[in-house]
Amino acid sequence: MNARIRHPEPTEGAAARTVQRRDGKGAHNVRDEVACEVPVALHYNDQPFAVLMATPRDLADLAVGFSVSEALIPDAGELQIEAIDESIDGIAIRMRIPEPRHAALADRQRALPGYGGCGICGSASIEAVLRAPPRIASTPRIAETALHRALDALHECQPLNAATGATHAAGFADRSGTLLLVREDVGRHNALDKLVGAMATQGIDAGSGFAIVTSRASYELAMKAAHVGIPLLAAISAPTTLAIALAESADLCLVGFARDGHCAVYAHPERLIPSSAEQSR
């Protein structure tokens, strides 16, 4: 009798699929890991609010981070996750917040569904999107070498992307560049929300370090970072004009093209100590 071939379990957040690989020698079928993307419905006080297309892992972090970074609640202490229900259609996260907060959601109501690729799809009004975050209170200065240290470490902390090649990551590092937390998702906004939620749950002060993301620096990401008080956001790709404008008004240091030992600072460069200044000390 032939022994049964045992395939390793897929990485959390991925599923095994058969793919036909082709090259100059022909075609052959192999097992591949593919990133999961499912509808995740967010319900507050028994009412649907938004649907995100997300990777089904770290969902409690997603619920907390979305609620805080979207200014639905001021802090994680006001949120109670009652259930995370899975069905054939997707996942529903059922949460409860104070009734006055819930009553205010009518002004922020999102049309369903929303999408993982767009953090503001379905927002009911321009005012709901272009809300002004408070100015960032903390004023740490981050060394450029610390930024690149964290970016180098991030490459080794993305198991889902290593398996699938299809996800973004968001990480938070302390001022020395030591990476403290990383979260992954098919949506860049979801990855940052998961990071914010994990930080809130673990009691990590948003003003004590900086965030890095493996995507462009969109307005939504800058807004989320600024709202929770992260003083520096670095992206491996480009920012947008609206992200720069928001960063300037919120005292957020916004860094783009942060990779391979280089970066471009688009707002508040005084928060990032250049390598030349470090060497002259």
Q: Which residues are the active-site residues?
A: 118
* Strand 262-267 to 168-174 pairing: unpaired
If we measure between CA atoms, which residue out of 234, 262, 259, 258 comes closest to residue 247? 234
If we measure between CA atoms, which residue out of 194, 201, 192 comes closest to residue 79? 201
If we measure between CA atoms, which residue out of 268, 248, 166, 259 comes closest to residue 212? 259
Cα distance between residue 266 and residue 80, in whole Å: 38
CB 191 within 8 A of CB 161: no
Cα distance between residue 161 and residue 184, in whole Å: 8
Cα distance between residue 120 and residue 189, in whole Å: 10
Please name every residue paired with 54 in a beta bridge, in sequence order, or none if there are none: 38
User: What SS3 state is found at 63?
Assistant: helix
* Strand 80-87 to 90-96 pairing: antiparallel
